[in-house]
Structure formats: C-alpha cells, structure tokens
C-alpha cells in the first residue's frame, strides 16, 4: 500500500512537498512559497526519511531543503545542475534574509550539510535509493537539470512530473515522458490546467519586433526576467533573431548562466547559448550600468516580478521615457510590483508611487505545460490515478474534472491530508 501526504502545493502554486510512504519514506521536493507578504513554508516532516528527491532548483521546489537538514541525515537526490543552481538560490535567500532582518530557517552550516548529503544523478540512470525503491530522472524540459521522477516502489510505480514543458522551447527539448515505461500513479503539476499558451514562435517574433522597434526609436528595452532559465532564454532569443543593439546582462542571472554553460549535456543546443552569452555585456559595476543607459540598449536584469533586484538600478532613468519599454516575460503573481505595473501603469520607486510613461508589455514565455500538453502527458502515461498538485484552487478543480471526463481517476489534494493510493 502506498500512502501520500501533502505537505504543500495543494490547490496552490508554491511550497511543493509530498511524502510518499510504502514502508520506505521518500520526500518529493521541499520548497517554499514566496508571497508579497513573506515566505510560506511547507508543513514539517516529522518522520525518519529514507530519502529526499528534488525535481529542480526553483525555490518553490528546493527552497526549504537546507532546513530539513537541521534534523535529518538521509540522502538527497537531484541532478548536478539542480544542486549547483539551488546552492546559488539558498545563499541568495540567506543574503536577502540578512538584509531584511528575517530568519531564513537555515544558515550556511545547513547548506554545507545539504551539499554533503546530496547524491547527484544524471538523466536516464536508474538508481536504487533503498533496497526496495529505485529512482530514475528524465528530462522535464523546464529549466536546466529539471527532472521527471520515476519511483519504482515495492509493487507500484509512481511518477512525479515536477514542472515541465511537453513542447520544444529555445533551450530544451520536450519532457521525455516516452521514456517512462510504467506509471500506476502520476503526481502532475496543474499550473496551466485550464488554458493553453500562445504559439511560442509567434510570441518570440512579436517580442523581438517590439524590442527592435524600441531601439530604432532611441529607447531602452528593459527586460526584468527570472534569473533561472528565463534570462538565459531571452538572451538566446535576441541572439537568434539578430537584434541590432548592445545587450547588457545584469543581476543573479549571470551566476546561473555559468551553471548553464557548465552543463552542456543538459541543454538542447549548448553552442547557440554559449554564442549568445558571449555577445552580451556582463554588467560588473556601476560604470557599466551607466554606459548601458548612454545609448539605445537592451537590458536583461532581475527580478522577474520586479520584487527588488537590478531592475531598480535602471528604472529611475527609464520609467519616464516614452521611447522606452518595460517588457515582462514571466508570470506575474497578484500584488507583486510587476502585476501592479501591468494593471495600473504605476510602480513604487523609492517610496513614491509613480506613473510610468514607458510602454509596459507582457509576453508569455512560460516554462510550464499548457492544458493540451498536460493532457497529452496523462494519456501517454495512462496512470490508474492522477494527483493534481501545483495549481491554483479553481484551476486544480477544473483540471481534475476534465481529467475525470477523459476516464481517469483524479485526486485534488488537501494540505496536510494523508491519502491511500
């Protein structure tokens, strides 16, 4: 019998954490939820774990793992790039907590311990993590090192999708569900369970045309982007379409880009990204920020939802310039400065709520599967039961109803509940 306990990401996006128990106790992800009102944590795990598995580095999947290692001495399994990027994010969490006078729930010692207890595994390499449990990671096509987790338990096979895309994107091939041979239970993300994405090619074309048009009229294209995945992808797109303007790259994305370059086998076309990153100006100091603003330019910076980060080094010079554009390329959570800017055309600058004269635009470069991709994956795996996690309440409800209409059993998880599969 397999029991599953929902420690987070139940009818919500964020703090993914699921405890699988068939005698062996395996934790799938241990993330946090970053909200405009502070960080929300997964429910505590009060049992002796045999292993923890991290699907990918994003903080909503990895962010609380060092806290777990205050108590536990089990091994953690993830791909090598997941560990490298998670480390960057954990240290950044400590830095931000220090600046804000908040408690990060772990310190450097726990990060060191987490690293020591982590066993990195590449894709397609089955590994016995206990006598009765075997894990295999497959490429999830979401960010570098992101994995679909196949868990062969005593009598059943459980597949955890993590976050994924099931179509080709600029940096990654589609998720490799065809490599999964068996699936009794599927824990799937549900983020876009109720809608499809616009065509990627058309989005890229429209985006690049608008960047070029901004440059041609003498403005700056300011691109606040997620440091992990999105900023690298945006630079790849700009390079591919030969946009004619100097590109400046500022913020934490630079560190993550080095992990991308160090892991060629985890990318679709490593050479293209390398060439693109070699063409950009890596902003290292204040002087370079100034020179970025002296001429029409493209500035790729953090953060993706404008909650702090290097974007604020440029905004004071750009917000009032009607020739410039602020182009958001990621999902904007409610109440974040990015979402507020889109809805009201205003942003808070040094305590003042100012009207932005620069154009503000939004593009859907999502790294999550759209509805059609989610259903293709479910049909491909054809599981006995589908557990819908990592989706807003209304989306999860609709997604589960539609899955049932296709003839599968669908489960809507409740936070803290344990179920028997």
Binding segment (CB under 5 A) for Zn ion, from list 45-53, 67-75, 155-163, 330-338: 155-163
Task: Pick out residues in 302-341 that bind Zn ion (CB under 5 A).
Answer: none
Residues contacting 287, CB < 8 A, separation 6+: none
- Token pair 């599927």 is found at 186
Provide the 10 A C-beta neighbour count for residue 186. Answer: 26
Residue among 163 and 233 whose Cβ is closer to Zn ion:
163
Alpha-carbon dihedral angle through residues 194, 199, 200, 201, given to the nearest 10 degrees: 180
Helix, strand, coil % in the chain, rounded to nearest 5: 35, 20, 45
Of residues 71, 23, 21, 24, the one with CA closest to residue 44: 71
Residue among 211 and 389 whose Cβ is closer to Zn ion:
389
Residue among 72 and 191 whose Cβ is closer to Zn ion:
191
Binding segment (CB under 5 A) for Zn ion, from list 37-45, 54-62, 107-115, 238-246: 54-62
Are the CB atoms for 335 and 36 separated by under 8 Å?
yes
Residue among 45 and 57 whose Cβ is closer to Zn ion:
57
Alpha carbons 214 and 42: distance in angstroms, whole number: 43
Binding segment (CB under 5 A) for Zn ion, from list 51-59, 115-123, 178-186, 225-233: 51-59
CA 325 to chain centre: 25
Residue among 304 and 337 whose Cβ is closer to Zn ion:
304
Alpha carbons 346 and 27: distance in angstroms, whole number: 42
Give min distance, CB of 391 to Zn ion, in A.
10
Pairing of strands 118-120, 75-78: parallel
Alpha carbons 368 and 264: distance in angstroms, whole number: 22
Give min distance, CB of 235 to Zn ion, in A.
19
Q: Report if residue 58 touches Zn ion, rule: CB under 5 A.
A: yes
Binding segment (CB under 5 A) for Zn ion, from list 41-49, 159-167, 242-250, 318-326: 159-167
Helices (H) and strands (E) in the chain, counts: 13, 24
Residue among 60 and 359 whose Cβ is closer to Zn ion:
60
Q: How many residues bind Zn ion (CB under 5 A)?
A: 3
Binding segment (CB under 5 A) for Zn ion, from list 158-166, 198-206, 217-225, 304-312: 158-166
What separation, in Å, do the N-terminal and C-terminal C-alpha atoms of the chain show? 7
Residue among 58 and 165 whose Cβ is closer to Zn ion:
58
Give min distance, CB of 210 to Zn ion, in A.
26
Q: Mask: binding to Zn ion, 160-189, rule CB under 5 A, as x and -? A: ---x--------------------------
Q: Report if residue 60 touches Zn ion, rule: CB under 5 A.
A: yes
Give min distance, CB of 359 to Zn ion, in A.
29
Q: Is the dihedral of CA 293, 299, 305, 311 positive or negative?
A: negative
Residue among 22 and 60 whose Cβ is closer to Zn ion:
60
CA 72 to chain centre: 26
Phi, psi torsion values for 57, nearest 5 degrees: -80, -20
Give min distance, CB of 61 to Zn ion, in A.
6
Q: Report if residue 373 touches Zn ion, rule: CB under 5 A.
A: no
Are the CB atoms for 61 and 29 separated by under 8 Å?
yes
Alpha carbons 374 and 413: distance in angstroms, whole number: 18
Give min distance, CB of 110 to Zn ion, in A.
22
Binding segment (CB under 5 A) for Zn ion, from list 52-60, 152-160, 216-224, 272-280: 52-60
Give min distance, CB of 144 to Zn ion, in A.
11
Helices marked H in 220-346: 230-240, 253-262, 270-279, 286-292, 311-318, 337-344
Q: Report if residue 29 touches Zn ion, rule: CB under 5 A.
A: no
Residue among 60 and 176 whose Cβ is closer to Zn ion:
60
Give min distance, CB of 146 to Zn ion, in A.
7
Give min distance, CB of 366 to Zn ion, in A.
10
Residue among 228 and 313 whose Cβ is closer to Zn ion:
228
Alpha carbons 190 and 368: distance in angstroms, whole number: 9
Give min distance, CB of 374 to Zn ion, in A.
14
Alpha carbons 61 and 28: distance in angstroms, whole number: 9
What does the binding site for Zn ion look like in residue numbers (CB under 5 A)?
Answer: 58, 60, 163
């Amino acid at each position: 019998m397999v029991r599953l306990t929902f420690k987070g990401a139940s009818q919500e996006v964020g703090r993914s954490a699921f405890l699988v128990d068939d005698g062996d106790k395996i934790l799938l992800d241990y993330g946090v939820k970053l909200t405009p009102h502070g960080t929300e944590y997964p429910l505590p795990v009060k049992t002796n774990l045999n292993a923890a598995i991290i699907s990918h580095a994003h903080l909503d999947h990895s962010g609380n793992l060092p806290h777990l290692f205050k108590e536990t001495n089990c091994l953690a399994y993830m791909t090598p790039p997941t560990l490298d990027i998670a480390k960057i994010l954990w240290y950044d969490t400590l830095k931000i907590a220090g600046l804000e006078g908040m408690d990060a729930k772990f310190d450097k010692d726990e990060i060191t311990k987490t690293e020591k207890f982590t066993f990195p595994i590449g894709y397609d390499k089955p590994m016995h993590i206990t006598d009765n449990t075997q894990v295999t990671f497959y490429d999830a096509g979401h960010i570098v090192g992101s994995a679909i987790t196949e868990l062969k338990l005593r009598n059943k096979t459980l597949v955890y999708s993590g976050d994924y895309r099931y179509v080709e994107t600029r940096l990654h091939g589609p998720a490799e569900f065809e490599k999964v041979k068996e699936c009794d239970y599927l824990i799937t993300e549900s983020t876009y369970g109720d809608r499809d994405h616009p065509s990627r090619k058309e989005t890229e074309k429209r985006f690049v045309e608008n960047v070029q048009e901004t440059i041609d009229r003498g403005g700056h294209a300011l691109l606040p982007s997620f440091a992990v995945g999105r900023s690298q992808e945006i630079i790849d797109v700009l390079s591919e379409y030969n946009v004619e303007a100097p590109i400046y790259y500022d913020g934490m994305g630079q560190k993550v880009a080095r992990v991308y370059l160090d892991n060629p086998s985890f990318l679709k076309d490593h050479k293209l990204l390398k060439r693109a990153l070699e063409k950009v100006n890596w902003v290292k100091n204040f002087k370079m920020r100034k020179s970025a603003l002296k001429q029409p330019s493209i500035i790729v910076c953090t953060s993706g939802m404008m909650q702090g980060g290097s974007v604020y080094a440029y905004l004071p010079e750009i917000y009032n310039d009607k020739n410039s554009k602020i182009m958001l390329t990621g999902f904007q959570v409610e109440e974040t400065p990015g979402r507020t800017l889109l809805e009201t055309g205003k942003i808070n600058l040094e305590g003042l709520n100012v009207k932005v004269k620069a154009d503000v635009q939004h593009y859907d470069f999502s790294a999550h599967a759209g509805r059609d991709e989610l259903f293709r994956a479910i049909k491909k795996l054809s599981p006995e039961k589908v557990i819908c996690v990592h989706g807003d309440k209304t989306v999860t409800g609709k997604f589960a109803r539609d899955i049932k209409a296709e003839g599968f059993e669908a489960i809507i998880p409740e936070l803290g509940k344990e179920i028997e599969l």
